Amino acid sequence: MIPLDPGLYIVATPIGNLGDLSPRAADILSRADLLAVEDSRVTAGLLRHIGVKRPMQPYHDHNADQVRPALLARLATEAVALVSDAGTPLISDPGYKLVRDARAAGHMVVTIPGPCAAVAALTLAGLPTDRFLFMGFLPAKEKARADAVAEVATVRATLVLYESGPRLSACLSALATGLGDREAAVTREITKRFEEAVTGTLSALAARYENAPPKGEIVIVVAPPGDPAPASMEDADAALAEALTRLPASKAAGDVAKRLGLDRKALYARALEMKAAASD
């Protein structure tokens, strides 16, 4: 067996169906000197599937700071493959500090792409995919969760979140409260036998799962906000009046036009009218 060049290999693994392991990923796992794994029991099952045994070192949120220096030292002479329990490492999993420090130390860093639950859910949801924001898991506490939702309420992108079954309904309700009752999809068991994508409004989905929390890995996909209602003349006048207290008419018109999406020339004429009326 030809040895791998020393360095860090970021290896994506199946999110459910073991048949999704790419030939390249299987080859890297078979030849790596060490596997840095989230859970050795999970990775051992994957190794049995491809018929190999390799040394493993647990690397997760609880031990990363302690283990990272030793892994970095080994990269000079050994090939270390980083894997998570499922999907692409670093996507809602530890690893970015290891990648950053490995590159800073001059070690080779290679990615072996493959399955990712967030991207797979986007393909199932039937919602816009031209722009999306991955949020990982929302905080468990109600106030912190509401604050996190409020931060993205105006982001014009599809939102992608991970969640557990017992927390699903509460999460969907918090999203409905903070974002409005948008279209959404709840996807689960992706690539497995009982894969499903249930679509509806956030409130309807929250009600569906309130007394029947599902099992399995869950990804929530939420539609972006709709087009905002056009600003009224009253909104424009109020914005202009405020802007004129700190800016000349031309700049006030430009400022309001940018904020409200209105015609700058019309706003400038209106600003002049307002200034003239104020001076009478």
Report whether pLDDT(30) > 90.
yes
Exposed, middle or buried: residue 241 (CB in 10 Å: 0-12, 13-18, 19+)? Answer: middle
Between the CA of residue 155 and those of 2, 122, 159, what are the distances in Å?
49, 17, 9
Task: Find the mean pLDDT for residues 75-101.
Answer: 95
Q: What is the side-by-side strand order in the sheet with 56-58?
A: 56-58, 34-37, 79-83, 7-11, 109-112
In tens, the pLDDT along 144-196 reads: 999 999 999 999 999 999 999 999 999 999 999 999 999 999 999 999 999 99
pLDDT of the residue at 260: 81
Report whether pLDDT(75) > 90.
yes
Please name which of 59, 57, 4 lies closest in space to residue 27, comparing C-alpha atoms. 4
Between the CA of residue 96 and those of 22, 82, 121, 175, what are the distances in Å?
23, 11, 23, 28
pLDDT of the residue at 228: 64
Between the CA of residue 191 and those of 74, 110, 115, 194, 213, what are the distances in Å?
35, 26, 10, 8, 20
pLDDT of the residue at 280: 67
In tens, the pLDDT along 90-132 reads: 998 889 999 999 999 999 999 999 999 999 999 999 999 999 9
Evaluate whether 60 touches 94 at the Cβ level (below 8 Å). yes
Q: What is the pTM of this model?
A: 0.80
In tens, the pLDDT along 220-245 reads: 999 999 866 677 888 889 989 999 99
